[in-house]
Amino acid sequence: MRWSRRKFFTLKNQAIQSERTMTYRLYNRTGSGGFVVEAALALAEAPFELVALDSKPGTPLPDSFRETNPWGQVPTLVLPDGSIMTETAAILIHLAACHPGKSLAPAPGTSAHAAFLRWIVFTNVNVYEAVLRVAYPHRFTSDPNATEATRTAAVTRMGEALGVLENAFGPGPFLLGDALGVVDVYIAMLCIWFRGDIEAPRLEGLTEGVRQNSIVGPIWRRHFGDR
């Protein structure tokens, strides 16, 4: 009961705050997964406020941040109406739906959109999840001697998932065709976090296309430098 009341006030304050700004608010830290949400907001030409958390990639975020996201992760996006979104795939799907003229993703109801949904969810649950097992292996085993093996298995599994994406391309340079979309930006970010070694010329081409994009490129360099 005490918890519910505190939660209510937190949400109310956030709603009041965003009524003032009428803009998105993105919580991230430099070099972390909020990069792709920042890129999506920029592609959508949507105004947003960036809250950069003082924390290094690969380390837990400050405990106080759990008041905003109880799972303690970025990206966390506050929508213009004050409601909170987490989970990268859900955020990207939502932004694409809210900004249909900006080509973040194919039009809903088409086969191309079905492919977009398929691969963005695949990327989230198989590739991004593996990154967590590499960065925080102790969360995935209760055996303190097994953290390195957990990490190694995660890198292998991530490589297998990236291999599936490598074979999912059609003729275009990007996953779903000729035009860059948010799923490409998402995959490129995960590719540069991969610590293994696989033969993946299509993913390399996609990543280069993301780096060279005039809107996304500058955001990429602020987060990842020359990587």
Ligand X SMILES: N[C@@H](CCC(=O)N[C@@H](CS)C(=O)NCC(=O)O)C(=O)O
**Contact set with ligand X (CB under 6 A):** 32-33, 60-61, 72-75, 87-88, 124, 128, 132
Residue 72 Cβ, how far from ligand X at the closest point, in Å?
A: 5
DSSP lists the bridge partners of residue 27 as 51, 76
Question: Of 75 and 106, which CB lies nearer to ligand X in the complex structure?
Answer: 75
Report, in Å, the least distance between residue 75 CB and ligand X: 6
CA distance 180 to 62: 34
State the amino acid at position 174 in one-letter form.
Answer: F
- Using CA atoms, how far residue 105 sits from 67, 99, 121, 128, in Å, is 31, 10, 13, 19
Q: Which of 146, 168, 158, 157 is nearest to 193 (CA)?
A: 158
Question: Closest approach of Cβ 219 to ligand X, in Å?
Answer: 15
Let me know the angle formed at the C-alpha of 150 by 147 and 154, rounded to the nearest 5 degrees.
140
Smaller CB distance to ligand X: residue 23 or 55? 55
CB 128 to ligand X: min, Å:
5
96 and 37 in contact (C-beta within 8 Å)?
Answer: no
Least Cβ distance, residue 116 to ligand X (angstroms):
16
For every residue of 135-158, DSSP letters joined together read H-GGGS-S-GGGHHHHHHHHHHHH
Q: Which is nearer to ligand X, 88 or 205 (CB)?
A: 88
Residue number with CB closer to ligand X (70 or 170): 70
Please, which residue, 35 or 174, has the CB nearer to ligand X? 35
The DSSP symbol for 126 reads I
Residues 6+ apart with CB under 8 A from 18: 25, 78, 79, 80, 81, 82
Which residue number has the CB closest to ligand X? 73
Q: Which is nearer to ligand X, 74 or 105 (CB)?
A: 74
- Bridge partners of residue 51, in order along the sequence: 27
- CB 159 → ligand X: shortest distance, Å? 18
